[in-house]
Chains A and B, each alone.
Chain A
Amino acid sequence: MSAFWLFVIILALAALGFILGRSRAISSVQGDRRLLHSLPNYYGFNVAMLAFVPAVLVLGAWVIIQPMMISSQVSTHIPAALYEDAGQLNLIMSDVKRVADGLDVAVAQGLMSAEGASQLNTETTDVRALLGEVGVALGSDVDPSVLNAAQEMRSKTTSGNLFMTIVVLIVAAAGFVAAMLKTRGDFRARNAVEGGVKALLIAAASIAILTTIGIVLSLIFNTITFFGMFPASDFLFGLTWSPEGRGGSEHLGILPLLWGTIYISIVALLVAVPIGLFAAVYLSEYASRATRAFAKPLLEVLAGIPTIVYGLFALTVVGPLLVNFFGADGLGWMQGARSVMTAGLVMGIMLIPFVSSLSDDIINAVPQAMRDGSYGLGATQSETVRQVVLPAALPGIVGAILLAASRAIGETMIVVMGAGAAARLDLNPFEAMTTVTAKIVSQLTGDSDFASPEALVAFALGMTLFLLTLGLNVLALYIVRKYREQYE
């Protein structure tokens, strides 16, 4: 039985449990609801919950684990002569899976019987043509050992599915019966149900932790594999990045990428911080209510525009514009539309609302009494801002700038489209450079297999990026917490 129908059956059992549990509770007190501990529905929910939740958990775990177990068992039966490393074994296993799926389809369409499929032989039948008929295209002819493995996989899956059906149904029935037996007038059904709901809430809250664990584990494992193939010191301190490897040698040094990232971020912050900060000061200290209500949301629109739009803007508007001034016809500093300046400028535009609205909040949090004190001593408004308000808000502003920097470092689309692909250590801001994020994209898209150092390096880059942005965020929080003046 397929997992889907099993799920439907469990669902039906739960619905039945709700009705039966509810009526059993009412009849156990001879219809006098006042004698029940909880509202009747809670008895129903309790039965439904116990019938549904454990069974679905078992089902979900089984569906995830069974294919992995089977494929690891089957892969041990593939003759070692057929593959050299784990990558090739993976390819063979995906072939096996395709053949097994194709046989399933063929049986489902009635092209052959179930026994026919398990007795299929490469010598008597053209398996590839057969599977092609049912719409499963294979890249090459089917090797006998692959067919055998596929048949073994099918038989194991069939028996596994049978076993799963039995176990899941037993679990569901056991939960159902246990809950029914407990259903009596004095049973504290509401507490039981609320306990279950609370467990659900806790599970939802811990998904945040699971996500972080998932990120860290997927980065760490792949990074370790990468460092097994490529020396860590060459990665961390290498000055060249050329994954293609001319003459068989590849250089995967991160320093040029880090330099590009930092250079572009600096340009972006040089654009965003002055504009954002002055805008925030003006909006919170000078602007009339009407101006503020008009300009603040408009500036924040800049933050709501997707980064792909900024990327295309950099590529087709800002880049060519810069080439007009600094290119071969102008000052001759710029070769192509893609450069550090292009990406940095556009990223700066994107970060303006980020800096301005964070700083705006922080400036507004400075108490009015401090300004009044300053005015009382004869200071002008700008002197008050520069010498009283900004120093008081400084930790918050530094925090905002650090958050903006972490944004800039992690930004992908603008640099992919605007900064170029050449990794170099250069000081000319009109030169094309590349960043960590752009290289993650270029190493992981395309047809490269995941076992090669060229693809795995992306995980090491991702790890670097993750640690870098995490560090900046933590630092920002620390500064804000440590140096914040408490005015209340």
Chain B
Amino acid sequence: MSDASLQSGPEMGTPRAKSSILQLDQRTKKRNAAEARFRAYGIAAIAVGLVFLVVLITSIFFKGVGAFQQTFITLDVELLESKLDKTGERDIEKIKKVTTFGYNPLIENALKAAMEEAGVDNPFAKGKDLRKMLSSGAAADLRRFVIANPDRIGDTVQFRLLASSRVDGYLKDRVTRESLARDKNLTPVHLDVVDQLKGAGVVAKSFNLGFITGADASESRPEQAGIGVSMLGSLYMMLVVLACALPIGVAASIYLEEFAPQNWITDLIEVNISNLAAVPSIVFGILGLAVFIQFAHLPQSAPLVGGLVLTLMTLPTIIISTRASLKSVPPSIREAALGVGASKMQTVFHHVLPLAMPGILTGTIIGLAQALGETAPLLLIGMVGYIASNYPGGIIEGFMSPNSAMPAQIYEWAKRADPAYYERAWGGIIILLVFLMTMNIIAIILRRRFERRW
């Protein structure tokens, strides 16, 4: 402080005899302590921020990594002709008439055989109870196989069937004997059997490709749910965003940066863009609902609508970064082009735009990454709540037919009551973050490699 020495002069009259320049007086000590404290606050603030980041990343990793592993039960199932094709004609229509109920006894027999082989006593009177260890989708898997290969009826085929989500949770320490006490889907007795079968190698955890490529499943079968279809939904949405936002954003920036006269209309557009960048994303969802669905009657939950809404949302981001990179092209380039007789339009499209392209692409990728992770507007246009259980048939259907998107799918899973779905949601987040990280790394590489310093 400027007046510190003035004030302290007379005060220090008495202790001056002891004090020297090497010995700090009381006041200086206090000021130095304040300095150290201030510095410590700063370090603490950064440390807290980084700790939050580390906690966030580790919890994502540890909670989500389980979704990439799934418990499978390997069974040798005898595809009895007497059950599946009573006539023996191998008539595909007749085989199709056997519903999944018809396949249940086969699974029960196979389970019993496997238990016998492993030397496990069967504590259940009813085969139905035994089957609870398996996913309820197992019979459908079997049926799909038989319909695809009717000539295998009568053979004994080895299947790797999904275990039920409770069994899976037990192997992942999510489910305990205590938590099963009042569960009607599985009993602790099942877990004893699972323990013994695990020792025999019938029940085992392995990599779960179905989670990455599969479709969403109903609420009672978390073990079957996968993020593949909604990943495709996100991809279609990003294509729409790329196809709309990049040309419009670049064109708008070129106009505002290179051609626009200084008048109130230009001002209005600029104020608008900076305001749109700060409008909450949910408001864009309301806009999409009112304009694209209520007014234009586009199909609900379609990636096309999601893409259009996200386009409007990312446009300001893209425009702002494109303008910055257009601005960074030095005026001498423009003047040289104009000097050799190029028109204003030729100058921009032949010289300025190519030089600004790396910056524009970087901004676009970052805008896309932002759009990929956005959830709130998708809630309003109906992408949550739609069970993305089928792959779209073709490209047009991919844009127009209802689908989910990755963040919407994650939210949908997080809403479901079964805690097994939390694991799926975290797993989905890992996949989403891998995409975002890749996009950002590409953007950084582009910037490092192609950005020119003038």
Contact = CB atoms under 8 A, between A and B. Distances in A.
B419 to A, nearest CB: 9
Contacts of B429: 308-309, 312
Given A411-B280, A441-B379, A307 B373 contact: yes
B48 interface: yes
Contacts of B269: 205-206, 208-209
B358 interface: no
B354 to A, nearest CB: 16
Given A212-B275, A308-B373, A197 B286 contact: no
B49 A208 contact: no
Interface stretch (B51-59, B211-219, B327-335): B51-59
B254 interface: yes
B252 A469 contact: no
Interface in A266-310: 274-279, 281-283, 285-286, 295, 298-299, 301-302, 304-309
Contacts of B50: 295, 298-299
A306 B279 contact: no
B283 A215 contact: yes
Given A282-B42, A309-B60, A412-B281, A208 B2 contact: no
A304 B255 CA distance: 29
Contacts of B295: 218
A445 B378 CA distance: 10
Interface in B415-454: 422, 425-426, 429, 432-433, 436, 440
B37 to A, nearest CB: 8
A219 B425 CA distance: 33
A204 B248 contact: yes
B411 A311 contact: yes
A449 to B, nearest CB: 11
A20 B22 CA distance: 93
A379 interface: yes
B56 A211 contact: no
B63 interface: yes
Contact of A204 (B52, B252, B275, B433): B252
A163 B31 CA distance: 86
Contacts, number: 262
B24 interface: no
B369 interface: yes
A305 B440 CA distance: 11
A462 interface: yes
Contact of B1 (A198, A212, A383, A446): A383
B291 A302 contact: no
Contacts of B425: 312
B42 A308 contact: no
Nearest to B254: A201
Q: How large is the interface on B (under 10, 10 to 19, 20 to 34, 35 or more residues)?
A: 35 or more
Interface stretch (A73-81, A111-119, A313-321, A334-342): A313-321
Given A208-B316, A380-B32, A437 B376 contact: yes
A65 to B, nearest CB: 11
Interface stretch (B141-149, B174-182, B380-388): B380-388
A469 B280 contact: yes
A278 B260 contact: no
Contact of A445 (B287, B294, B385): B385
B-side interface mostly: helix
Nearest to A211: B312
Given A275-B45, A278-B45, A352-B49, A444 B252 contact: no
B282 A440 contact: yes
Interface in B239-264: 247-249, 251-252, 254-256, 259-260
B345 interface: yes
Interface in B283-338: 283-284, 286-287, 289-291, 294-297, 312, 315-316, 319
A200 interface: yes
Contacts of B316: 208
B157 interface: no
Nearest to B63: A316
A381 B254 CA distance: 45
B315 A282 contact: no
14 contacts: A215-B286, A218-B286, A278-B42, A278-B45, A278-B46, A304-B436, A308-B429, A309-B56, A311-B375, A316-B422, A352-B49, A378-B1, A459-B286, A462-B282
Interface of B: 1-2, 4-5, 31-32, 34-35, 37-39, 41-46, 48-50, 52-53, 55-56, 59-60, 63, 247-249, 251-252, 254-256, 259-260, 268-269, 272-276, 278-284, 286-287, 289-291, 294-297, 312, 315-316, 319, 343-345, 369, 372-376, 379-380, 382, 384-385, 407, 410-411, 414, 422, 425-426, 429, 432-433, 436, 440
Given A208-B269, A356-B49, A445-B382, 16 more contacts: A201-B255, A205-B252, A215-B286, A282-B39, A286-B39, A302-B52, A305-B433, A309-B56, A312-B425, A353-B49, A378-B2, A381-B38, A410-B281, A437-B282, A446-B385, A462-B282
The 10 nearest A-B residue pairs measured at CB: A410-B280, A282-B42, A306-B373, A218-B290, A278-B45, A204-B251, A382-B38, A201-B255, A412-B376, A377-B2
